Amino acid sequence: MMKPTRILFVNAINTYVESQTRYPALGIGYLVAMLRKEFGAEVDCRLIEGNVEAAIREWQPHLIGIGSVSQNFNLAMHYAELGRAGGSLVVVGGYHITEMPSSMTPAMDVGVLGEGEHTICELVATLRECGSLPSDRLSRIAGIGYWEGEQLQVSGPRPVVGAKTKSLDELPMPARDLMQIRPHTNMVTSRGCPYNCTFCASTRFWPNIRYFSPEYMIEEVKHLIRDHAVRYITFHDDLFIANVQRLREFHDLVLKEDLPRKGFRFSCSSSATRITEEMATLLKEMNFVTVSMGLESGNQEVLRRLKGPAFKVETNQRAVEILHRHGIHVHASFIIGEPRETIEQMQETYDFVRRNPFSLVNFFALTPLPGTRVWHDAKARGLVSDTMDWSRLSEHFEFDWRKSIIVSELVSRRDIRRMYLKMRRLRLYKMGRAMLKHPFQMDLGAYLKAKTSEWAFRLGLRRRPETIFVDSLPRRS
C-alpha cells in the first residue's frame, strides 16, 4: 500500500499585515476538502502561512501548493525556490497566475489557472501514478500552465464548478480543521459577480456567477456554530444578495433555526444598486449588523468611469439611508487617483463620506491589478510590466506611497498622498464615533494587537527596506 502523498499548502501572505491575516484562507480550504473527498487517507495535507523553509525541511512534502495574489507574488516566487531546493514539486494558483501564467518561474512546475478543486485532484492522481508530473501527462489536464523543456505551455480552459447547474453544492465544506477559527469568521456562498468594474480582478477569476444553495449555507452555518463556537459570520461573496430568491429562502431557514433570538450575527457585502426596503428588512430580520458597499466615488463622472453608467451617486446615497434607517451599520470603500480625476472631484468624495453615517470607511489609491481594464491602460502607458516588482501593487498606500503605482494623469503623487491622509483622518473619526456600539467591538483586542505588530514591522522595514520579502516571517499568534 502506497504511503500518503504529503501536500503542503502555503498561503503566501505577509503574516504581519493585519488585513491579510484577519480571516482563514478558505480558497485553500476547499482544495484540501476536495482532495480528502477524492483520496481519503491517501493524502496528508497541511496549511501554513509562514516558516515555510523550516516546514519543507522538517516534513519533506511531495508537493507544495502556493496560493498568491499579485501584490504577494514576490513571496510566492521565493517560496517556490525553497520548494525546488527542498526537492518538492511546486504548484502555484490564485488570481495572479490565472491572469499572468507567463509569470511562472522555472521553480514552479505547474500553474493552476482559475478554480483549482478538480485540477488539484488530477495533478495529485498523476503524481501518485507516475511519481512525478511529466509534461506528456500534464498536457492532458485542462486549466494549467506547465513546462515542456524550457517552453511554457498553457492547456485549454477547464469548465468551472457548476457551469451547467449554476450550483456549487458539489463542493465539500472547506477544511477548517487546518485553520484558526475565531468566534467571528467568514464564509463564501457564491462565486462571481454580475458587474464588470474596471479595477476589479474578481470577475476575471470567476467567469460567471454561481451559488451554494440556502440549504447548504445553513448547514455550514450550523457546522461553524457546533464545531467551532462561531457567533458571527461575515459573508465574503462579491455580491451576497445578487440572488434575491436565494436570500429569501436563506432568511426563512435562519429564522427557523432561531439564530437572531440566540444573538447570532451576520455581515455581508452588496452593491448599492441592490439595496431596497425589502432587502434591508430581510437582512435586519436575520440580524445582519453590517453591510459593506463599494461606493468608490462621490463624483458622478469618476464613478461612471470606474464602474459603468448603471451606477449613480444618488443610488449610493439612497442605499446608505435605507440601511441606516433599518439600524444596520454601513461600511463603504472609496477609490481615489482615477486617471482623469481632479483634486476637486476627490474632495467631493471626502464631502460625501463626511456627511453620511458610515461606521467604517476604507480609502484606496487606484491600483492596476493584472487582467483589469486599469491594468491594460497602465501597461499601455508603461507604468506596469509583466516582470515588475509585484510588491508595488500593494493596497497599503499609507505605507508604500513612494513606490506605489500612480495612474493619475492630473494629480501628483504627493497631492494624492495629502488627500489620502486627509481621508484616513476622517476614517479614524468615523470609527471612533461608531466603535462603542459597533459589532466589530468583539474583534477590537485582536485587531489592536495585530495592528501594533504591523506598525512595528513597517517601522523595521523603513530601517531595513531590503528585508521586505524574506522567509523569516513567523506566523503571528
* SS (HEC) of 294-336: EEECCCHHHHHHHHCCCCCHHHHHHHHHHHHHCCCEEEEEEEE
What whole-number percentage of the chain has pLDDT above 70?
Answer: 96
pLDDT category of residue 88 using cuts at 50, 70 and 90: very high
C-alpha span between 408 and 90 (Å, rounded): 38
For residue 384, give the C-alpha cell: 506596469
In one letter, which amino acid is 80?
A: A
Compute the distance between CA of residue 352 and CA of residue 316 in angstroms, rounded to an integer.
Answer: 10
Please report, as a single letter, which amino acid is at residue 375.
Answer: W
Higher pLDDT, 288 or 470: 288
Confidence check: pLDDT of 469 > 50: no
In the chain, the percentage of residues whose pLDDT exceeds 90 is: 82
Whole-number pLDDT of residue 439: 83
Record the pTM.
0.94
Q: Is the pLDDT of residue 294 over 70?
A: yes
Confidence of residue 191 (pLDDT cuts 50, 70, 90): very high
- 475, pLDDT greater than 50: no
Which tens digit of pLDDT belongs to each residue from 366-392?
A: 999 999 999 999 999 999 999 999 999
Span 232-289, pLDDT tens digits: 999 999 999 989 999 999 999 999 999 999 999 999 999 999 999 999 999 999 999 9
Residue pair 32/47 in contact (Cβ under 8 Å)? The answer is yes
Residue 156 in grid coordinates: 485549454
Residue 404 has pLDDT above 60, yes or no: yes
| Among the ranges given (115-129, 148-162, 321-335, 457-471), the one the predictor scored with the smallest mean pLDDT | 457-471
Task: Output the pLDDT for position 314.
Answer: 98
Cell of 83: 520548494
Q: Which three cell numbers stand for residue 371?
A: 487582467
**Rounded CA gap, 193 and 209, in Å?**
6
Q: Which of 306-310, 333-337, 438-442 has the lowest mean pLDDT?
A: 438-442
pLDDT given at position 463: 61
Q: What is d(CA 67, CA 28) in angstroms, rounded to the nearest whole number?
A: 7
pLDDT of residue 114: 94
pLDDT (tens digit per residue) in 99-122: 999 999 999 999 999 999 999 999
So what's the pLDDT on residue 337? 97
Q: Going from the N-terminus, what domains does the chain have, and what CATH number goes with each?
A: 5-154 (3.40.50.10350), 181-444 (3.20.20.70)
d(CA 197, CA 201): 9
For residues 141 and 123, give the distance between their C-alpha atoms in angstroms, rounded to a whole number.
8
